[in-house]
A and B are shown apart, each in its own frame.
Chain A
Amino acid sequence: QKEVEQDPGPLSVPEGAIVSLNCTYSNSAFQYFMWYRQYSRKGPELLMYTYSSGNKEDGRFTAQVDKSSKYISLFIRDSQPSDSATYLCAMSAATGNQFYFGTGTSLTVIP
């Protein structure tokens, strides 16, 4: 079983839509949860970072963590064509530095 599961998509939405991206995980030791955005032929760029359970909002982006369900989400409001990219979830344990990634979800926002 993979440490982190993420639906690869692809996901295609019209401009202005609300996008929901999700990951599930199996390791209860994970405490830190990240969302990265990766454009084609570029490296992953950190979007959101959360510790333990709860919500975090940054502009049009909201990250949610539900540790009891081992489930994390990223919501994108008022999606824009520039949001078209692959979104990767990543997580790590409190005492470790190794990041565990999902396979990424490919998102296309259609103008």
Chain B
Amino acid sequence: EAGVTQFPSHSVIEKGQTVTLRCDPISGHDNLYWYRRVMGKEIKFLLHFVKESKQDESGMPNNRFLAERTGGTYSTLKVQPAELEDSGVYFCASSQRTGGSDTQYFGPGTRLTVL
């Protein structure tokens, strides 16, 4: 069974540019999560989809970040325009069931560098 995949693995852009990150969850997982790790800090929650609906987006830092999950399959996270403080590793995770007891499986992450 394929795990969570993310693309690209690494992106380097200049301040003010736009970047779109993609996540493909494990097949059959309705729940999809985005997290971010800024250097030296802990991994922090950004948002949670259940199928195509946003269940919780309390962690999104500001309106420069837009997440979508059309059709309830893969998800994209767009940053527009990117700022220096957006640099970090963006992780995607997926799980089968909603609820704190469900296991979240993480992808390898996308390392974003904003210059």
- Which residues of A approach B to under 8 Å, CB–CB? 2, 4, 6, 31-32, 34, 36, 41-46, 49, 51, 88, 90, 92-104
Contacts and interface: CB of A to CB of B under 8 A. Distances in A.
B106 A43 contact: yes
Nearest to B44: A101
B42 A101 contact: yes
B109 A97 contact: no
Q: Give the interface residue-count category, chain B.
A: 20 to 34
Contacts of B40: 103
A32 B100 CA distance: 7
A101 B106 CA distance: 13
Given A44-B106, A46-B103, A51-B101, A97 B48 contact: yes
Contacts of B107: 43
B104 interface: yes
